[in-house]
Amino acid sequence: MAWLLPLPFMRIIVPAFFLFGKVTIMVTVSEFNDLEELHQFRLLWRSLWERTPQATIFQTLEWLQTYWREFGRGQKLRVLLVSVSGRPVGFVPLVVKRRKTSAGTLRVLSYPVDSFGHVFGPVSPYTAAILAETMRHLRDSARDWDVLDLAPIDSNGRENGRTHNAMKHRGFRPSVSQCDEFASVNLAIPWELYFQSRMPDLQNGISQWESAGNVEFIRYRPAGVIHGETLPRWDLMREFESLFGDVLLGHTEQGKILKRRRFWKDTHPLAIETGTLDFCLLRVHGQTVAGAYNYHHDGRVQGHLLAAREPQSDQMLHLLIHRMLVDSIERGDELYRFPIGAEEIACEWQTGIETTFRYTHYARLEPRAQLLRLRNWWDGTPAVQHRTVTPPSPQPVAAETPGLRIVS
């Protein structure tokens, strides 16, 4: 019955009812376990991604394909496609992987992010309805997992508790735990008012460097393949990588740095093509001293990596962030999130803290999963635990490159 469907689906059904009278509605969920099968949905996926609230590059099909080539070994792919009366309305990418826990090695069903993304969720403008149908499908299909662990979820943002509600209403018992905290800057505040609220030492330090001159800020934000702006600018990437031997902040877990760096470079062309790249460099007296690699979409800038050259790395990062925030406000950006690991730098600039959460359900008939649940409840711990380059000379930057802004 139409009135039993989630509210977002009613927005599709009600207009059809008034136009055509009685409407027969069927909601179906199709599952794909082979990445090659998804190629036929490339344009559909992109269309739904562009309409997804606060979408990120991590939710694109191209990113999933790159992730799977690099990290898919030993995992099972489960991509769900939800359709209403034959009309596709959303994708939900999931993977089953084996993880070591205090109760032994368990099969965990989760999003394919591995702490790369700040937030994740369905690729659809109808998030609540898609999550409800996803949970119904997982409940009714053969179980190939011991723990359902969905993270990172932005419950305080537009997600607004939809994951928790969908899991609970389909018979799951979600345990909620904090995933990560991110310092953020609200860019809707007038710059003068915002900067005057910063610590005097920070203001004075920025003013001294700016008054000394010979500071050049470079920002590359190509609009993507749709607008014909697809130059990868590997010369700028080499400048940025020359800083990695000094101070590097971001998604660089010990033991995974080299593999993740290779993956990061593999996804660079994707960020260009999708128009989500936001890349900044700072030069002082002609030398590259700091850089930031970000992703942006829908007015939100998501920090991924920050790097700076010693011995004045903190000062250079502050100067870079100052230039970057000023430029973001001029562009009309709404929010900047600092990358993980940049807390000491971020505390000087942040206007707030954004928290992501994880929602975990332990299979009732799996003894080890229940043992893990009890141990985590007793200890108060999260459900599932995660988480020398030769500097080249700076290359001349072509000012006519589309999407490139140079400020001296």
Residue 292 maps to a domain: yes
Residue 3 maps to a domain: no
Residue 296 maps to a domain: yes
Instruction: Give the Cα separation of 134 and 156 in Å (integer).
Output: 21
Any bridge partners for residue 78, and if so which?
94
| Segments in 122-161 forming alpha helices (H) | 127-140
Residue 44 shares a structural domain with residue 176 = yes
Residue 110 shares a structural domain with residue 197 = no
Query: What range defines the domain where residue 240 resides?
Result: 184-351+389-407
Residue 207 shares a structural domain with residue 123 = no
Residue 162 shares a structural domain with residue 197 = no
State the total domains in the chain.
Answer: 2
CA dihedral 34, 37, 42, 43 (to 10 degrees): -150
Specify the 3-state DSSP secondary structure of 129.
helix
Residue 70 shares a structural domain with residue 145 = yes
pTM: 0.82
- DSSP at 142: P
Q: Angle CA(402)–CA(406)–CA(407) in degrees, nearest 5?
A: 150
Residue 247 shares a structural domain with residue 166 = no
Residue 314 maps to a domain: yes
Would you write out the chain's pLDDT as a tens digit for each of its 408 residues?
343 455 555 555 544 444 444 556 789 999 999 999 999 999 999 999 999 988 889 999 999 998 998 889 999 999 999 999 899 999 999 999 999 988 899 999 999 987 666 789 999 999 999 999 999 999 999 999 999 999 999 866 667 889 999 999 999 999 998 888 889 999 998 999 999 999 999 999 999 988 887 899 999 999 999 899 999 999 999 999 998 876 677 654 544 555 667 788 888 999 999 999 999 999 999 999 999 999 999 899 999 999 999 888 899 999 999 999 999 999 999 999 999 888 899 999 999 998 889 999 999 989 998 898 888 877 765 554 443 323 333 344 444 566 665 654
Residue 207 shares a structural domain with residue 337 = yes
Residue 363 shares a structural domain with residue 375 = yes
Q: Using CB atoms within 10 Å of the CB of residue 174, give its burial: 0 to 12 exposed, 13 to 18 middle, 19+ buried.
A: buried
**Domain containing residue 130: CATH number:** 3.40.630
C-alpha distance from residue 115 to each of 97, 210, 255, 294 (Å): 14, 36, 14, 15
**Domain containing residue 301: CATH number:** 3.40.630.30
Number of CB atoms found within 10 A of residue 234's CB = 13
- Residue type at 84? V
DSSP 339-408: PTT-HHHHTTT-SEEEEEEEEEEE-TT-HHHHHHHHHHHHHT--SS----PPPPPPPPP-TTSTTEEEE-
Residue 253 shares a structural domain with residue 147 = no
